């Protein structure tokens, strides 16, 4: 019995390509559905109960990480494998946190993908060595950070940081969050302190590097 796969990706050409590819390995995998948005992915996961969902991150309406979170909460038996072009570490970490069973890049080879899918249904994580290495480092760094007493950013600070990265001035940020510019400065100072940065420009590049911003192109 082939592995039942749901493909969630907003690029129709990519979906069609994957379907065409998987048709060459009908013994192993069977695409039982496609979703174009995160919303659709959640609905189809409920209706079709696939074994595995190949989920992109950038999708309209609801991104793949949010969709994965919802699906994993309701159907933990479904293995969700993020299949994306994003090499942002932040996306990887978030994927792990929302319960993804794997994180693969679209630069992967099709045969490797098939191999990893075989493992996934028996509970193995689907990821390349490079990705696994990143996770290890992250865990190690997290421990080091904890010992150092380094603090994570609060929700509010993350929000401010995202806006800073978008190029917004403190005044604009204040208006968007309906708070005073003094508060924005206060948050920003806290951000710079926690991340050991010197100015908003460094904060912006930090945010980009760690995938805290979601550009709608790529």
Partner DNA sequence: TCAGGGATCACTCTTTCGGGTGAGGCCGGA
Partner DNA sequence: TCCGGCCTCACCCGAAAGAGTGATCCCTGA
Q: What does the binding site for a copy of itself look like in residue numbers (CB under 8 A)? A: 10-14, 16-18, 20-21, 23-24, 58, 83, 85-88, 91, 105-110, 113, 164-167, 169, 197-202, 204-205, 207-209, 213, 215-218
Rounded Cα distance, 81 and 104, in Å: 7
Which of 26, 141, 201, 205 binds DNA (CB under 7 A)? It is 201
Q: Which is closer to DNA, CB of 43 or CB of 186?
A: 186
Rounded Cα distance, 214 and 49, in Å: 29
Encoded one letter per residue, x for contact with DNA by CB under 7 A and - for no contact, window 79-98 reads --------------------
Report the Cα–Cα distance between both ends of the chain, in Å, rounded.
Answer: 36
Under the binding rule (CB under 7 A), the answer on residue 188 touching DNA is yes
Rounded Cα distance, 190 and 203, in Å: 11
Q: Helices 155-165 & 181-195, crossing angle to 10 degrees? A: 100
Q: Which is closer to a copy of itself, CB of 76 or CB of 85?
A: 85
Q: Helices 181-195 & 200-209, crossing angle to 10 degrees? A: 60
Under the rule (CB under 7 A), what is the footprint of DNA? 151, 154-157, 169-171, 177, 179-183, 185-189, 192, 198-201
């Amino acid at each position: 019995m082939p592995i039942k796969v749901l493909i969630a990706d907003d690029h129709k050409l990519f979906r069609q390509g994957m379907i065409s590819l998987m048709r060459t390995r009908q013994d192993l995998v069977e695409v039982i559905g496609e979703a174009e948005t995160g919303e659709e992915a959640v609905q189809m996961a409920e209706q079709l109960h696939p074994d595995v969902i190949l989920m992109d991150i950038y999708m309209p309406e609801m991104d793949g990480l949010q969709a994965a979170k919802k699906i994993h909460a309701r159907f933990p038996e479904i293995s969700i494998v993020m299949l994306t072009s994003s090499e942002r570490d932040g996306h990887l970490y978030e994927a792990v946190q929302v319960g993804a069973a794997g994180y693969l890049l679209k630069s992967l080879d099709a045969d490797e993908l098939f191999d990893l899918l075989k493992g996934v249904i028996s509970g193995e994580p689907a990821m390349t060595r490079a990705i696994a290495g990143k996770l290890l480092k992250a865990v190690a760094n997290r421990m080091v950070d904890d010992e150092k007493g380094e603090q994570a950013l609060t929700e509010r600070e993350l929000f401010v940081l995202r806006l800073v990265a978008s190029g917004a001035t403190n005044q604009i940020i204040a208006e968007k969050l309906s708070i005073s510019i003094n508060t924005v400065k206060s948050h920003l100072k806290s951000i710079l302190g926690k991340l050991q940065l010197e100015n908003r420009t460094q904060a912006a590049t930090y945010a980009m590097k760690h995938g805290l911003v979601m550009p709608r192109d790529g």
